[in-house]
Amino acid sequence: MNVRKIITIVEEILTEGGRPVSPAARVAIVAAVIENPWSGQGYVEDLGPGIDQTASAAGALLAPKVLEALGAPAEAYGKAAIVGLNGEIEHGSGLIHTLKFGDHFRKAANATTLLPAVEKRGPAGIVFDIPLKHITDATIRSHHQTVEVRIADAPHPNEIVIALAAAAQGRPQQRLAPLTTEQ
């Protein structure tokens, strides 16, 4: 895996809806900008070898970094793969939609649910939203949220941005009724 750079973003929300948030709502994102393992090869039928050489290494790199940046136990989490213009969305999907990648984060966060994801193709500086859900129960509405990310110089056409996001809590000032009230 050829990593060009790693970006860490930490957001602390202190006020929401005109009311203080205490403790501050904390969300962390860590992204690695990597060379697309299928770059320059044209259409590749079997993505397996590229997944094998890259997915686990990316998960092992990012999972501890995002939890360290969060500075608290994760309650919600998500992932992203943003492919540069010379790649296929399937390249990003292949890297993040495998247990080789996701299990690093699940184990580090003591999580059991599937990681919600975004994958798309775009130019450097593209804005993308990472969806987050609760780490052990995807039906807990308070933890359904998104975090917006933009990396000014990534992805280059032959790169992929692989990112993980974690939140230490649900949405600030959340007050929706539990899903069970509608069933």
Looking at residue 85, what is its pLDDT? 97
Mean pLDDT throughout 2-24? 96
pTM, two decimal places: 0.95
Q: Fill in the DSSP letter of residue 74.
A: -
Percentage of the residues of the chain whose pLDDT score is greater than 90: 91
- The structural domains of the chain, with segments of one domain joined by +, span 3-182
pLDDT digits (tens, 9 = 90+) for 88-113: 999 999 999 999 999 999 999 999 99
Superfamily of domain 3-182: BB2672 (3.30.1330.110)
| pLDDT band of 177, cuts 50, 70, 90 | confident
Phi-psi group of 153: left, alpha or beta (phi > 0 → left; psi -120 to 50 → alpha; rest → beta): alpha
